[in-house]
């Protein structure tokens, strides 16, 4: 039986629209509801307790929309709030950390050779949380993970500087350090970073980039199937965008991170 309830997706802002785009591409018939907490972005500078509180408030809102599962398209919230969210409601909750780490194991299977070292680049908060290290130790403890905070990339991307010399210089500052460690697998641990994949591959053609947005959509398929939640309809699903604040740059950010058409945009207050 087709389950046409929507999939809920949220992020601290609009960077998670890269995850939405990957999910829409893989599941065009699924209905999608996205919440961007644009009034309280960024989460990366907030305490763990605050990130958990925000995430649970957004989860309540999405459950009120009758979603069938929730994708936490925010590395900071995925690092801090998943356990609490999974306790609160009996619906699947998927973060973006585990799919990125799982992709390393998939790469090993494809290559049929051992990967000894890999790197993750992310915001300071995500790196400080140690979430990628913890996930990798559970899944593939033999891989050494080099963690690198790249705090300047998000503001550059949000300014639309995805093909500027300034961004290239900053990328070299961050990634040269990783390349010197003879690391060739890099997990993009922030939903903004997929917009720099082209520049990264051009500057470092020998590296393999692991896009957590794409990997999250891939892992979703198993969850939908196992829980009998897949929408078998052949109709094109709707996309609804909710935000906690309508900002001047909203339309620009929507185009930058999603690139397609969103059916509706609505501001909602979560009672804070």
190 is catalytic: yes
The span from the CA of 32 to the CA of 23, in Å, is: 9
Task: Single out the catalytic residue among 74, 135, 175, 210.
Answer: 74
150 is catalytic: no
The span from the CA of 90 to the CA of 258, in Å, is: 29
Task: Single out the catalytic residue among 188, 190, 200, 224.
Answer: 190
Q: Would you please indicate which residues are annotated as catalytic (active-site) residues?
A: 74, 190
């Amino acid at each position: 039986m087709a389950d046409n309830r929507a999939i809920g997706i949220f992020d601290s802002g609009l960077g998670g629209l890269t995850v939405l785009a990957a999910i829409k591409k893989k599941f065009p018939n699924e209905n999608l509801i996205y919440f961007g907490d644009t009034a309280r972005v960024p989460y990366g500078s907030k305490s763990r307790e605050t990130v958990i509180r925000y995430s649970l408030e957004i989860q309540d809102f999405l459950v009120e929309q009758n979603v069938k599962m929730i994708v936490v398209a925010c590395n900071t919230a995925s690092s801090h709030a998943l356990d609490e969210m999974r306790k609160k409601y009996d619906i699947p909750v998927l973060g973006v950390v585990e799919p990125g780490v799982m992709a390393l194991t998939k790469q090993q299977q494809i290559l049929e050779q051992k990967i000894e070292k890999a790197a993750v680049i992310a915001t300071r908060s995500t790196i400080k949380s140690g979430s990628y290290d913890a996930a990798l130790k559970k899944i593939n403890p033999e891989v050494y993970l080099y963690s690198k905070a790249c705090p300047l990339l998000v503001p550059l991307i949000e300014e639309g500087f995805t093909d500027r010399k300034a961004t290239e210089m900053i990328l070299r500052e961050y990634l040269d350090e990783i390349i010197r460690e003879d690391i060739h697998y890099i997990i993009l641990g922030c939903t903004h970073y997929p917009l720099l994949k082209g520049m990264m591959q051009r500057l470092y053609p020998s590296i393999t980039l692991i896009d957590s947005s794409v990997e999250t959509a891939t892992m979703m398929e198993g969850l939908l199937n196992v829980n009998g939640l897949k929408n078998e309809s052949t109709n094109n699903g709707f996309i609804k965008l909710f935000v906690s604040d309508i900002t001047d740059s909203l339309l620009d950010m929507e185009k930058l991170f999603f690139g397609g058409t969103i059916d509706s945009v609505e501001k909602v207050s979560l009672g804070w």
